[in-house]
Structure 1
Amino acid sequence: MPALCRDCLHRAEAAFARCPACGSRRVVAHPDLFALTVAHVDCDAFYASVEKRDRPELMARPVIVGGGRRGVVAACCYVARTRGVRSAMPMFKALSACPDAVVIRPDMAKYVHEGRRIRAMMEALTPLVQPLSIDEAVLDLSGTEALHGAPPAVTLARFALAVEREVGVTVSVGLAANRLMAKLAAERDKPRGFAVIGAGEAAGWLAPQPVSLLPGVGPALGKRLAAAGFTTLGQLAALSPKEAAARFGEEGPGLAARARGEDARRVSPDRETKSISAETTFEADLATQAALEAPLWRLCEKLARRLKEKGFAAAGVTLKLKTASFATRTRATRLPEPTRLPDVLFAAARPLLAREADGTAFRLIGIGAQPLAPGDAADRGDLADPEAPRRAARWEAVEKLRAKFGEGAVVKGRGLPPPARKG
Structure 2
Amino acid sequence: MRIFENFESEVRGYIRSFPTIFKKAKGAILTDEQDVDYIDFFAGAGTLNYGHNNDLISNALIEYLQNDGVVHGLDMATTAKKEFMETFQELILKPRNLEYKMQFTGPTGTNCVETALKLARLVKGRSNVIAFTNGYHGLSQGSLAVTGNNEYRDESYISRSNATFMPFDGYFGDFNTLEYLRKFLNDGSSGVDLPAAIIVETIQGEGGINVSSAKWLKELESICREYDILLIIDDIQVGNGRSGNFFSFEFADINPDMVTLSKSIGGGLPMALLLFKPDLDQWKPGEHTGTFRGNNLAFVASKVSLENYWQNEDLTNAVFYKEKVLKKKLEEIAQKHSDVFDIDIRGRGLAYGFEIKNDPTVAGEISSYAFEEQLIVETCGSQGQVVKFLPPLIIDEETLIEGLNRFERAITKLASDKKKKLTEEF
Bin of the TM-score, shorter chain as denominator length: under 0.3
TM-score normalized by structure 1? 0.26
Q: Which structure's relative contact order is higher, taking Cα pairs within 8 Å and 6+ residues apart? A: 2
Structure holding more strand per residue: 1
TM-score normalized by structure 2? 0.26
